[in-house]
Structure 1
C-alpha cells in the first residue's frame, strides 16, 4: 500500500506543469516562509505567518537549496518529497493497526492510500500530510497494541511528536486532548510524561519566534485563526462532507456527491457503533483514541467558515483506522482469504478512480510570460508567492523588498481585512516594489481600495501576460 501511495503521488507530479508550475496558493506562503527564513528574515517579526513556525523550520533545509538552484528548482525538490511523506503515513497507520490482523491492516492502509484529500494534499507543500505524520509518529510511540505503552520514555517521545505537530498546525490539539482524557486518572504515570513531552515539543520550535515578536505572534497565529471561524462566505455542508468522505471524487456532480457522502458517513458511523457494541460498550484505549480524534476533527472541520479540500487530509488517518478496525472485527466471521480479496479489489478499484481524477490535473507555467517580464533579482510583489517562487523571482537583491510579504491573504486578514491599517501595510509594500503580479484587483488577497488602484495606475505600466496582470514601475526595464 505504501508503494501504491508513492506511485500515485509521483504520477500526480508527472502531470503537466505540476512539478515546476503553479498549482496552489498555500504552498507559496508556506515554502516562501522557509525561503525568507534562510535569507535572514524572521516570521512574525519581519513578515506575517498565520501558522506556527514548525513547517517553516521543517522546510528550511530544502529552502537552503534555493541558494544553489533557485527557488523554482528547490520547490520542485520539496514537491518530490511529498509522495514519500504519503507513503510513510500509510506505513504508520499500518503499524498502529497491525495487531488487529491482516484484514484490518489491509483496509486501513488501503483507505489511507486512496483517500482523495490525502492524495491531493501531497501534490505540493501543504500542512496536513506533515500534521498527519507527526501525530501518527506520536501515536506509534504511545500505543502498544490496544493499550498505552508502559514505558515513560515512550510517552515523553510520543508527546514530543504531538507537540511538534502542534507547531505545524494547531489542529493537533484534538488528538492531544483525546490522549489526555484517556490518560486520566493516572496523572503521574501517564499524563505528566505525555503532557511534558507535548509542551516541550511545541515550545522548542515556537518559543524563540514568539519571544522575539510576542504581539505579532499572538495576532497572526491566535487572533487571526479564531477570526476565520466566523468569517464570511461559509462553505456548505455538502462540500465538506464530500471531501471528508471522499465522495466528491466518485461522483460527477455536487448533488450525487452529497447522497454518496451521506451513505459513506452512515457506514462509518455504523462501523464505529459495531466496534463499540462488539466490545460490550467498552472500546479499547486505542479505539477510544481513534474514535474520539475522528469525531473531534470532524466537528473541527465543520466549524470555520472557510474550508478547503486538503483540510480533510487530517481526517483521513483516523477515518482509515476506524474503518480498518471495524471491518477487521466484522470480517472475523468470514474467511480471511475472502475478506482480504474483497478489500484488495476495493482498494485497487478506488486507486484506479484516483488515477482517472489525477490524470486531469495540470499546473501553470509562468516562466515564458511573467518570468519574461521581470528581470532576475528585481523587487517584485504578488498576490500569490507561488507566482514568484516558480519563476525564481521571489528573492530580491534589495533587503526587505516589498516588506518581505510572503502570504498576501494572511497579511491582509491579520491586519483587519479592508481596514485602514491593512491598506497602509499594502501601500508601503507597493511603494517599495518595482514589479507587481496580480491575479485580480478584487480577489480579496490585497485590499486594493480605489486609492491603491489609483496609485498603481499613476506609478506603474501594465504589461499583458496571459491570465495574470503584471505592472512595471515607470522607468524600470521589462525582461
Structure 2
C-alpha cells in the first residue's frame, strides 16, 4: 500500500512517526486521566454498564459462568480482557480493583491513538497520521468511554489491531500475518458483534489478495478458544442471551433516527469531524480500487452507521466505536487536500490545517465542558433515588 502523498520526513529524530504519535498518545492519556486525577477514580459516577461488566468479570474469575449462572447479553471477550484485573477483587478491596480497571481503560485509549495514527500514517502519509491521532485523542465520546469500564475501548483496540494486521497481510502476502489478522478479528467479535463492521472493512480492504484460508482459520481458532468454552457450558442460554435477546430487544435510548444522526454527526462537537469525514468519504469512493485503507474506513463507517440506525436501542456512547472510522476518513480527506499542488498550494494547506484545528478545538471544548460537569458532587442530586422509589437488584439466574 503506497501512501497517497508521500512525506519526506525531516532528519530530526524528534519528528519521526513514533515520537509524534507518541506525543499525541500521551496527550490522550492525560486528557482521559484528568478527571480521575482530579476527583479520584471513584469521584466520577459509576455507569450501570460499568458495574455489570466489572462484576461479571469478577464473578467469572471466581468460577461463576456467564450465560449458565447469570444473564450476560454480550460475547464474553471483555470479561476475559478484564479478568487479570478483576481477579484481584477477592484479595484486595473491590473498590480499589475497580479503580484499577478504570485506569487500565485510560491506557487502552492511549494505545488506540497510537494504532489509529500509525494506520493512517502508513496509508496516506504524515499529515493523515497526525490528523487521525489528534482527532481521536480529543474525541469527546472516546474520552468519556476510555476512562471507564466499557466495551468500546477494547473493541476499538482489537478492531484497529485487526485492521493493521490485515493491511500488513495485503502488503506482505504472508500466510502468518493473515492468520494473525483472523485471530484479532475473532478477538474483536468476542467482545461485541458490532465488530463485524471492522471485519467486513478488513475483507473489503484486502479483497482477493488476502489469504482467506489463513484469515478464516485464525478467526475460527480465536472464537473457539475465547467463546467456545462459554457456549458449551450452556448452549441454549448462550444463543438466547447473545443473539435472540438483541433480535427481540424492545426500543430503548434515542428512538428517533434523526436524533441518532444528530448524535453521530453534530452533537458533542462532532460537526467538524463529520465534515472532514464527508470529504474523506468522497476521496475514498474515488480511490476505491487502489486504496485499501480507504476501503476499510469507508466500509466500516457505512456499516456502523447502518447498524446504529437499524438497532432497537441506541445510546450516544456507542459513537466511540464509530469514531475510528470517521477519524480515518477525516484524515484521508485532510491528506488529499494537503497534497494538492498548484498556485494556491500554501493557502490550500493553510485552510486544511485550519479545518483540522477547528475540528480538534470543537472536540476539546466539549471535553473541557463535560469534564467540569462530571464530578461526583454534581451528580448526586440527579442519581440519588427519589423518596419511595423502587430499588431493583440483579441476582444470578437459576
Q: TM-score, normalised by structure 2?
A: 0.82
Match of 1:299 in 2: 306
Residues 1:269 and 2:282 are matched in the alignment: no
Match of 1:12 in 2: 35
What displacement does 1:73 show?
1.2
Instruction: Indicate which of 63, 74, 82 corresponds to 1:40.
Output: 63
- Contact persistence 1:103–1:339 (CA under 8 A): no
Match of 1:466 in 2: none
Residues 1:218 and 2:242 are matched in the alignment: no
Residues 1:319 and 2:340 are matched in the alignment: no
Mark the CA change 1:101 to 1:72 in structure 2 (over 3 Å): closer, same or farther: same
Match of 2:222 in 1: 201
Match of 1:170 in 2: 193
What displacement does 1:232 show?
5.9
Q: What pairs up with 1:133-212 in 2 under 5 angstroms?
A: 133-144=157-168, 147-186=170-209, 190-212=211-233
What displacement does 1:268 show?
2.8
Q: What pairs up with 1:213-292 in 2 under 5 angstroms?
A: 213-228=234-249, 231=251, 235-245=255-265, 247-250=266-269, 265=274, 267-277=276-286, 279=287, 282-292=289-299
Instruction: Indicate which of 130, 148, 171 corresponds to 2:154.
Output: 130
Q: Deviations over 1:402-451 (max 9, x none)?
A: 4x36xxxxxxxxxxxxxxxxxxx7xxxxxxxxxxxxxxxxxxxxxxxxxx
Mark the CA change 1:235 to 1:154 in structure 2 (over 3 Å): closer, same or farther: same
Match of 1:87 in 2: 110
Mark the CA change 1:151 to 1:248 in structure 2 (over 3 Å): closer, same or farther: same
- Contact persistence 1:89–1:136 (CA under 8 A): yes
Aligned partners of 1:61, 1:284: CA distance in 2, in Å?
39
Mark the CA change 1:384 to 1:320 in structure 2 (over 3 Å): closer, same or farther: farther
Match of 1:58 in 2: 81
Q: Which runs of 5+ in 2 are unaligned?
A: 1-23, 385-390
Query: What CA RMSD, in Å, does the superposition of the two structures yield over aligned residues?
Result: 2.9
Mark the CA change 1:233 to 1:24 in structure 2 (over 3 Å): closer, same or farther: closer
Larger radius of gyration: 1
Aligned partners of 2:393, 2:328: CA distance in 1, in Å?
36
- Contact persistence 2:205–2:294 (CA under 8 A): no
3-state secondary structure, aligned to 2:190: helix
What displacement does 1:249 show?
2.0
Q: Deviations over 1:231-255 (max 9, x none)?
A: 367622343223322x3224xxxxx
What displacement does 1:91 show?
0.3
Instruction: Indicate which of 71, 82, 97 corresponds to 1:74.
Output: 97
Aligned partners of 1:83, 1:112: CA distance in 2, in Å?
13
Aligned partners of 2:68, 2:60: CA distance in 1, in Å?
11
What displacement does 1:344 show?
4.7
Q: Which runs of 5+ in 1 are unaligned?
A: 251-259, 371-381, 386-401, 406-424, 426-479
Mark the CA change 1:305 to 1:355 in structure 2 (over 3 Å): closer, same or farther: same
Which structure has greater helix proportion?
A: 2
- Contact persistence 1:19–1:79 (CA under 8 A): no
Q: TM-score, normalised by structure 1?
A: 0.69
Aligned partners of 1:87, 1:45: CA distance in 2, in Å?
35
What displacement does 1:11 show?
1.1
- Contact persistence 2:276–2:334 (CA under 8 A): no
Match of 1:331 in 2: 338
3-state secondary structure, aligned to 1:144: helix
